[in-house]
Structure 1
Amino acid sequence: MILNKNTKSTLFRFVILTITLIFLYLPIMTLVVYSFNESKMVTVWTNFSLKWYRALMNNDAIITAVGISMTIAVMSAIASVIIGTLAAFVMVRIKKFTGESAFLLFMTAPMILPEVITGLALLLLFVTLGDIIPVFSDRGMITIWIAHVTFCSAYATVVIRSRFVELDVSIEEAAKDLGAGPMKVFFVIILPAIMPAEVAAFLLSFTMSMDDLVIASFVAGPNSTTLPMLIFSSVRRGLSPEINALASVIVFVVSIFAFVSWVLTVRKQKRKERNAAMVKAALRKENTITA
């Protein structure tokens, strides 16, 4: 049987896609399956059990670490979006100003600096400030939050700036001509237009804060252990089935959010297509009546 060119291309893409999906998701599926294993040996299957999920719910250290990581991630994402929005506004709307090159450099530098260098620099900063401001001497959640905002705001700025560039300035100028002040133009015209980028920047900053290990290890104190730090220390002592259960819960929650986001996106796209079809039908009807 001779395959034509299109069939070969389709078959090749299918094979590559299958290999990629297996490479990406087989380890995750293995982790989820073994989270239901009764044995303490994470690689030896015995019987189906939920004991490790019950143990996870009773593990105060993990619950505390999850609470600390969630709190820091939400606070970091909010601060990063605010800073990123202001920085993007300055970059796009204010064309030339004194120190423009330095401003652009300092806003994007955390993206290219190694995390070890960033963590070490922040540690030295907090140690120095600890002699003046007592809150920095303990190196708790506040220092982790400041460190996370330092690098998350750079990524948020890039995401929001890409949306700012696409905005139609004539709409803002029309609003100003009608008497709207700068603040009203920003909150009524600009902010709704860049809201998808704001949400994307928030989710990106939240994810990066939750995932950070290196920088948090430098600036965290003994009473502010984040979830990645706890998992890393647990894995170094030997892989625990509770960690499998915790990872499975995280995968489940992320999958739900991804599915809901996909459903909302599909519905929004269908709504746009339906509205466009209604507009086209109305225009055809109007042209028919006019003719």
Structure 2
Amino acid sequence: MRRLSAFNVVSLTLGFAFLYVPMLILVIYSFNESKLVTVWAGFSTKWYGELAGNQQFLDAAWVTLRVAFFSSTIATVLGTMAAYALIRSGRFWGRTAFSGMIYAPLVMPEVITGLSLLLLFIAIGLDRGILTLVLAHTTFCMCYVSVVVSSRLITFDQSLEEAARDLGCTAAESFRLVTLPIIAPAVVSGWLLAFTLSLDDLVIASFTSGPSSTTLPIKIFSSVRLGVSPEINALSTIMIGIVAIGVIIASLMTKRSMARRLADEAAADRAELT
């Protein structure tokens, strides 16, 4: 096994410290007794109780979860369709423009995207609220889903679809029974990525949200401008814990799936030998 050099060890240590030490400090001070987030006054969990009774934060969290769920689901459907059309349709008229429109929001500044969507909603007379948030998040999340699914479709063996068609399946049936189960990990990854991006969005949501549709990032940003409260530390700690649990579950599911696939391949090899 190749050993890491001292330079690599120091670089990795500094990099991880830069990323995770601030999070560790935030988690520690979420259990602080004092209202001052920079002064340690003893261990306490009272700020989690205060957070549970803060209706404004709870309402913002509920709005954020609803918007993230619906926008990521719609973005996954549309992004998968766009990726399939882009990869499987070959060369067609307008393909360059179509791919450009898919990838443009990836490099477009969020301020420009948010402002353009705001002007669009004003032009068509659509009041800002949950619906405008879902439409706005779907617009930019769909691009990320399309990229993830496209990378999986490029390596997909099309002979499997052809075999299904030879056995009597229609195009829709071959996609539903063969293609979709194989690319399902990429589709799920795209949905999770879209869900995370929607949860984290601040700039576009600030342009397209209304008075009754304040998301959690907007609420946190507004509260921080008046001073950091220990309740925000508690809320951030809960979000870090949820993300960590999700990552652990996804890692375990990936390892289990890989182990199952290796076992199936080994069983198939033994069957061929016998």
Q: Larger C-alpha radius of gyration, 1 or 2?
A: 1
Query: 1:40 corresponds to which residue?
Result: 35
In the alignment, what sits opposite 1:55? 50
Deviation at 1:97, TM superposition (A): 2.2
Q: How many residues align?
A: 273
Q: 1:18 aligns with which of 13, 19, 38?
A: 13
How far residue 96 of structure 1 moved from its aligned partner, in angstroms, is: 2.4
Match status 1:99 vs 2:94: yes
Q: Distance in 2 between matches of 1:123 and 1:191?
A: 35
> Could you tell me how far 1:152 is from its partner in structure 2?
0.5
Aligned pair 1:152/2:136, yes or no? no
Which residue does 2:163 correspond to in 1? Answer: 174
Q: Counterpart of 2:213?
A: 224
Which consecutive unaligned segments of at least 5 residues does structure 1 have? 1-5, 131-135, 287-291
What is the percent sequence identity of the aligned residues? 46
Alignment-derived partner of residue 191 in structure 2 = 202
What is the SS of the residue equivalent to 1:194?
A: helix
Where 2:56 maps in the other structure, the secondary structure is helix
Deviations 1:251-273 (A, max 9, x none): 11111111112222223333334
Query: C-alpha separation between the residues in 1 aligned to 2:168 and 2:249?
Result: 40
Q: CA deviation at 1:179?
A: 1.1
Q: How is 1:242-253 mapped onto 2 (pairs within 5 angstroms)?
A: 242-253=231-242
Deviations 1:186-212 (A, max 9, x none): 100110011011011000100000000
Instruction: Show CA shifts across 1:43-90 (max 9, x none).
Output: 100011111000000000000000000000010110111011110111
The one-letter amino acid of 2:152's match is: R
Structure 1 position 90 matched with structure 2 position 79: no
| Secondary structure, counterpart of 1:201 in structure 2 | helix
In the TM superposition, what is the alpha-carbon distance from 1:280 to its structure 2 partner? 4.9
CA distance in 2, matches of 1:248, 1:102: 43
CA offsets per residue over residues 219-250 of structure 1, 9 Å max, x none? 11111100000000000000010000000000
Per-residue CA deviation, residues 110-148 of structure 1 (Å, 9 max, x unaligned), is 111111111111111111111xxxxx12x0010011011
Q: Against the structure 1 CA distance between its residues 279 and 97, is the aligned structure 2 distance closer, same or farther, given a 3 Å change threshold?
A: closer
In the aligned structure 2, how far is the partner of 1:66 from the partner of 1:143?
17
* Aligned mates of 1:68, 1:250 — CA distance in 2: 15
* Aligned-residue offset at 1:100: 1.6
Normalising by structure 1, report the TM-score: 0.89
C-alpha deviation, 1:14, in angstroms: 2.7
Return the alpha-carbon distance in structure 2 between the equivalents of residues 217 and 107 of structure 1: 23
Pair 1:165–1:265, CA change in 2 (3 A): same
Does 2:119 match 1:119? no
Normalised TM-score (structure 2): 0.95
Q: Which stretch of structure 1 is more off in the superposition, 95-104 or 244-253?
A: 95-104
